[in-house]
């Protein structure tokens, strides 16, 4: 099956522009390493899927047949460039565990050459500043790769994500997409 990764996007492809394309990206912060996913870490991705808010659309939730399975996700790590050049695994340096992802994706929703910031972390590590810390590292990476502007989309009901985006300098635009069932997607942007 096709594994949808984040946001409300239908089409997600790896970020291939910039100086880091195709290389093994490793970003370091005081508490975190951001680096390509390893196949054995598919279990962490599966846990992220199981934890998603019920308001998230069905294509990003585990379906009635249990897909994506750990095997589906292993295959996606093995074959998808996205996991090595775009959405990086977030590893805690002290405990060496992977707690989610943060990175850039070309969702096709913004202008060419202006990718989206995306992040998702396991519930048990929320509210310790990890998403903010990881996002700031990704912003530095994007800037040094030559990007001049990023976008981020967020559900209007997602208070924590809106707060993270505000903390790292994104501002809300007038663009939004209204979905009567799942909520309104807000488009935010940040110049680098
Ligand atoms: C969004 C997410 C990545 C935030 O991760 P995190 O590591 O907890 O984020 P941080 O600790 O860096 O910052 C969270 C901020 O939101 C605030 N916050 C968290 N939950 C909140 C809530 N329910 N109401 C109000 N504020 C909230 C925190 O207080 C903090 O702000 P502060 O530093 O001003 O106190 C995490 O909640 C998550 O993975 N959510 C599910 C996936 C998701 O929504 N991804 C983004 C899609 S656009």
pLDDT in tens, 6-22: 433 323 333 444 434 44
In a domain, 50, yes or no: yes
Give the closest residue to 114 by CA, choosing from 80, 156, 146.
146
In a domain, 98, yes or no: yes
Asked if the model's pLDDT at residue 24 lies above 90, the reply is no
In a domain, 8, yes or no: no
In a domain, 124, yes or no: yes
Residues in the chain: 192
* Under 8 Å between Cβ of 80 and 14: yes
Local structure of residue 42 (DSSP, 8 states): H
Other beta carbons within 10 angstroms of residue 189's beta carbon come to: 20
Both tokens of 148, joined, read: 């001049």
Stretch 134-148: mean pLDDT: 96
* Under 8 Å between Cβ of 34 and 88: yes
Local structure of residue 177 (DSSP, 8 states): E
What is the number of the ligand 1 atom nearest to the C-alpha of 122?
A: 39
Q: How far apart are CA 177 and CA 44, in angstroms?
A: 30
**Number of domains observed in the structure of the chain:** 1
Whichever domain contains 186, its CATH number is 3.40.630.30
Stretch 87-98: mean pLDDT: 97
Stretch 25-49: mean pLDDT: 97
Q: How far apart are CA 44 and CA 76, in angstroms?
A: 13
Domain extent for 39 = 13-191
Asked if the model's pLDDT at residue 69 lies above 50, the reply is yes
Ligand 1 centre distance from Cα of residue 4 (Å): 21
pLDDT tier for residue 23 given thresholds of 50, 70 and 90: low
In a domain, 5, yes or no: no
Residue nearest (by alpha carbon) to ligand 1 atom 45: 120
In a domain, 129, yes or no: yes
In a domain, 101, yes or no: yes
Ligand 1 centre distance from Cα of residue 161 (Å): 5
Residues with CB under 6 A from ligand 1: 7, 119-121, 126-132, 154, 158-161, 163-164
Task: Tell me what the pLDDT averaged over the chain comes to.
Answer: 88
Please compute, for residue 48, the number of CA atoms within 13 A of its CA located in the half-sphere on the CB side. 24
Ligand 1 centre distance from Cα of residue 45 (Å): 18
More confident residue, 59 or 125: 125
Other beta carbons within 10 angstroms of residue 66's beta carbon come to: 10
Q: How far is CA 153 from CA 66, 69, 107, 173, in A?
A: 27, 26, 10, 10
In a domain, 95, yes or no: yes
End-to-end CA distance of the chain: 36
More confident residue, 82 or 155: 155
pLDDT for the residue 16:
40
Ligand 1 centre distance from Cα of residue 130 (Å): 9
Residue nearest (by alpha carbon) to ligand 1 atom 27: 160
pLDDT for the residue 173:
96
The pick from 109, 163, 166, 183 for probing ligand 1's pocket by mutation, whose C-beta has the most ligand atoms within 8 angstroms, reads 163
Stretch 144-163: mean pLDDT: 96
Residue nearest (by alpha carbon) to ligand 1 atom 12: 129
More confident residue, 24 or 35: 35
């Amino acid at each position: 099956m096709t594994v949808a990764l984040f946001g409300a996007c239908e089409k997600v492809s790896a970020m291939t522009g910039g100086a880091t394309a195709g290389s093994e990206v490793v970003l370091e912060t005081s508490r975190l390493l951001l680096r390509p996913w390893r196949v054995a870490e598919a279990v962490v991705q599966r846990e992220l899927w199981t934890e998603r808010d019920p308001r998230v659309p069905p294509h990003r939730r585990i379906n009635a047949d249990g897909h994506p399975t750990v095997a589906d996700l292993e295959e996606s790590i093995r074959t998808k460039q996205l996991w090595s050049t775009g959405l990086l695994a977030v590893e805690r340096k002290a405990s060496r565990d992977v707690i989610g992802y943060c990175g850039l994706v070309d969702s096709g929703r913004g202008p060419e050459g202006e990718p989206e910031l995306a992040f998702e972390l396991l519930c048990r590590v929320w509210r310790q500043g990890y998403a903010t810390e990881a996002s700031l590292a990704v912003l530095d990476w994007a800037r040094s790769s030559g990007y001049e502007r990023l976008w981020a989309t967020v559900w209007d009901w997602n208070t924590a994500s809106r707060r993270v985006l505000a903390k790292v300098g994104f501002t809300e635009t007038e663009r939004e997409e209204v979905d009567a069932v799942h909520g309104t997607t807000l488009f935010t942007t940040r110049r680098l």
